Structures are given as structure tokens and as C-alpha cells.
Amino acid sequence: MFTSIQKKSLASKVLKLVLSIYILFAAAITLIQIVLYYQEEKRILKQEVSLLYETIHPNLSNSIWNFNDSQIESLISGLLINLQVIGIEIKNERGDLIAEAGQTKVKKNDPSIDILNINKNLISYKFPIVYNYRQAVSHHVGTTILYSSRKILLSRITYNIFLILSNAVIKTVILFLIAYFIFQKIIALPLSRLTVVVKGLEYSSTEVEEQQELNHLIKDQKDTELGILTETILKLEQTLANRNTEIKAYQEKLEWKIKERTAQLEKALLEERKAKESLHYLAHHDSLTKLPNRSEFFRILSHSLKSLQRQNNFLAVLFIDLDHFKIINDTLGHAAGDKLLQIVAKRLVQRVRESDTVCRLAGDEFTILLENLSSTHHIEMIAKNILETLTKPITLEHKNVSVSASIGISISPENSKKAEELIKYADTAMYYAKENGKSNYQFYIVPTS
């Protein structure tokens, strides 16, 4: 422990320690300055790229909306004139790449170039492409990804980094010289006088002998700075040992409390999440049949209509009303009526595709959303299957009951492109089916003037 004192002075050790701490501190400050400056330049570069993108955004969104590929290529090629942008990718709302230009396109098409190294040298900026339909409705039609090279950013900050590093080196040298002379005068000289007291002593490597030497040193140097310092260190060591024991016991107790509290919080969070999920499910589903309710069906239909604008197929809404349900409900009771509704809901789900949506609006009224249709033949086939499966006998209160339904059908975009009108027209067509003897289906027919 003390043999190093004979080899090198304590003053030089303390001086080196202080200077090392200062150099590390200065290096950390310099690194922080460089990082902050880099981030600021990166922000400025992003702002410049954003301003460049704003110049083409209106024309770009209009071109994507109108599927004008030539104009898209012209716009992104014009943007590459600026040195800040070296590559461009245009993706539609589904994330599919529809256009690209610049160095990234050339390098991606070259199999001899490592794509991972390209990505490390690029900075990407993503901008949404929003098309304002008739200045009233905004549509997200895609995403623009602009690429800039890190070399451009580094070239802009190289000179300033050089100035920061030069300034740090000069300050370090000056402060080193000042600290050296002050240290020699204030610290090194007093410490050298203290070391004279123990100069020439030889300490053993065992702890027992080391403790004996320390006690002997305290006794011999009782009234000197070195003796007082050594005695104080021994007392501090004992105090720290006691404190460490207390801290360890407290730490174990604290860890146990933390684990206990963490388990309680995790349990509470799990219960809260389950409660939220349950409330969300109840708000959007019918509690009896577990089918989506009116508001959820309206949301799904509205979303499907938006997607339908970019597709060549069509969708249909089937409005289903059970015939003579009130008689069954009044005769056999509400419990039997509820069971009938549950069986009907299960049969409806079994007769449509997984991509279709079955909903219970209210009472004995159900709706079905059929998507991605190419002909009305598929609609008629599903409607016939529904009518056939509903006529199969159902056992309620030990009695076999047959039920039928009247189905009204509306089609988009033929009848309407609005969710409210499609549901209304399907409801109207359902009444056509009721008037034609029930247990049949009818398509909505636009009234002639």
C-alpha cells in the first residue's frame, strides 16, 4: 500500500490526477460542443431540405392523386438540382415505392455495392404527401423520403470543429502551466515535508503488519500533520465500514419494498388495461351477439368507402330484418328471442367471407358489408345462402321454430358513395322485400322522376 510512496512522490501523483480530471472534463465539454454543433447543422440542413420540398409538394400531391407518373418523375428530378438532396423516394399510402431518383436509385440497382454501407452514409427525411380535395377534404396519399449525404453535413462543420479543438488544446496547455506552478507552491511543498516523516520506512504486505505500522506511525507522529492525517483516515475507515453495513441492510429492505410495489403497480396497470379494453369493446360491439354495433359498422363502412375511390371494384350493404320476430318474442319470451338473435348472428357470420363484416344495428335488424366485389352475382349468391340458412329450424323452449328474413341491398358507387345513404337505401330496399311477400331480397332501385 505504501511502497509506491518511495518510488514516486505523492505530489506528482496528485498533480497528475488533477490534470487528468481536467483533461477529461475539457474533452467532455469539447465533445458536447461538437455534438451540439453537429445537431444544429443537422437541424439547419433538415430545414433547408424541408423548404425545398414545400416548393414541389402541391404539384406532387396533385400528380399522385391523378396518377401522373411523368409529372412525378419531372418534379423529383428537378429537386435533385439542389446539392442538399442526393436521392428521392416516393411511396404511396400503402408504403409501396412508386418513384425514385438520384444516387440512391443508381446504387441500389448496382449489385456490387453494399446497401448497408449506403444507408450508414445517408440521412433520410420523411414528409407526408397530403392532397386537399376541392380545398375541403385532406387525403394522405403517400410519403416522400429525401436523402442527403452525411459527407455534406460533415463538410459544413469540419472547419468549426477544427476551431473548437484548437481552442480546447490552447486552453489546456495554458491552464496546465498555471496549475503546475500553483500546485508546486501550495500543495507539493507541504506534502514533501509530510513525506519526510515516513521516508525510509518499510511496510509489509500483510494487513496485520500494515495495521501495526500505521499504529506505530500514529504514536510516533502524534502531534504532526501526518500522524493526525493517518489517525483521521483510520477513524473514517471504521465509520465508513459501519455506514456500509447500515446501507446494505437498508438497501435490502428498500429492494424488497420496490419489488413489492412494482408487483402491485403491474397488477394495477394490467387491471386498468383490461378495463379499458373491455370498455372499448362494449362501446363498439353488441353485448348480446358480440357483433359490431351501429357506430362501429358506420366507421368500417366509411373507411371502406374511402379506399373504394382508388379501386375498380365495388361494395354492397345488406340490410336484414327478421320476419315475424315480434310474434316469437311475445309468444316464447324475451330469453328465447335473445337466443334466436344469437343463433341468427352465428349463422350470418358463417355464410360470409372473413373479409366481410356482420353487424347488429338494433332489435332484429342486421347489416352485412361485402367488399371487393366484381359482380352482383356474388351478392345474390350470399343473399340466397342467408335466406336458406335462416329457414332451418331452431329449437327454442323445446319447440322447433322457423324464421325468415327480408333483405335489402344497396351498392356503392352505383347507388351512393356516402355511408348514411347506403344504409338508408338498403333499408328502403328491405321494405321492397317486405312488400313482395317477405323471405326474399331486393336491390335498391333509384326512383324515376
Say if 285 falls within a structural domain. no
Q: Are residues 26 and 174 in the same domain?
A: yes
Q: Are residues 214 and 326 in the same domain?
A: no
Cβ proximity of 105 and 111 under 8 Å:
no
Q: Please give the residue range of the domain that contains residue 359.
A: 294-443
Say if 96 falls within a structural domain. yes
Q: Are residues 152 and 173 in the same domain?
A: yes
User: Which residues are within 8 A (CB) of 378 and not within 5 positions of it... i.e. 6 or more apart?
Assistant: 370
Cβ proximity of 299 and 357 under 8 Å:
no
In 57-189, DSSP assigns E strands to: 87-92, 97-102, 122-133, 137-149
Please give the pLDDT value at position 205.
41
Q: Are residues 35 and 181 in the same domain?
A: yes
Residues 341 and 337: their CA atoms lie apart, in Å, by 6
Say if 448 falls within a structural domain. no
Q: Are residues 207 and 145 in the same domain?
A: no
Q: Are residues 226 and 216 in the same domain?
A: yes
Nearest to 283 by CA among 291, 275, 293: 293
SS3 content of the chain, % helix, strand, coil (to 5): 60, 20, 20
Say if 147 falls within a structural domain. yes
Which residue, 154, 183, 201, sits at the end of a domain?
Answer: 201
Please give the pLDDT value at position 187.
58
pTM for the model stands at 0.43
Q: Are residues 77 and 37 in the same domain?
A: yes
Please give the pLDDT value at position 275.
81
User: Which residues are within 8 A (CB) of 252 and not within 5 positions of it... i.e. 6 or more apart?
Assistant: none
Please give the pLDDT value at position 112.
45
Indicate if 364 belongs to the active site.
yes
User: Which residues are within 8 A (CB) of 352 and not within 5 positions of it... i.e. 6 or more apart?
Assistant: 358, 368, 370, 382
**Residue 14 grid cell:** 496528485
Q: Are residues 233 and 119 in the same domain?
A: no
Identified catalytic residue from 286, 323, 356, 364 = 364
Q: Are residues 13 and 82 in the same domain?
A: yes
Please give the pLDDT value at position 197.
41
Please give the pLDDT value at position 198.
43
Please give the pLDDT value at position 368.
96
**Residue 171 grid cell:** 486552453
Say if 287 falls within a structural domain. no
Nearest to 337 by CA among 363, 362, 358: 363
Phi and psi at 314, nearest 5°, equal -140, 175
Consecutive 10-residue averages of pLDDT for the chain (449 residues): 48 69 81 80 77 78 79 78 76 83 59 47 81 72 81 72 79 77 60 46 46 59 60 74 87 89 88 83 87 94 86 89 88 89 93 92 93 90 93 84 92 92 95 92 83
Which residue, 156, 183, 201, sits at the end of a domain?
Answer: 201
Which residue, 175, 201, 227, sits at the end of a domain?
Answer: 201
Say if 449 falls within a structural domain. no
Neighbour count for residue 68 (Cβ, 10 Å): 15
Please give the pLDDT value at position 226.
55
The sign of the torsion formed by the CA atoms of 61, 135, 420, 442 equals: negative
Q: Are residues 241 and 374 in the same domain?
A: no
Q: Are residues 314 and 431 in the same domain?
A: yes
Please give the pLDDT value at position 276.
85
Please give the pLDDT value at position 239.
84
Please give the pLDDT value at position 234.
66
Say if 289 falls within a structural domain. no
> In total, how many domains does the chain have?
3
- Length reported for the chain: 449
Please give the pLDDT value at position 136.
61
Nearest to 140 by CA among 91, 181, 208: 91
Q: Are residues 258 and 301 in the same domain?
A: no
Say if 312 falls within a structural domain. yes
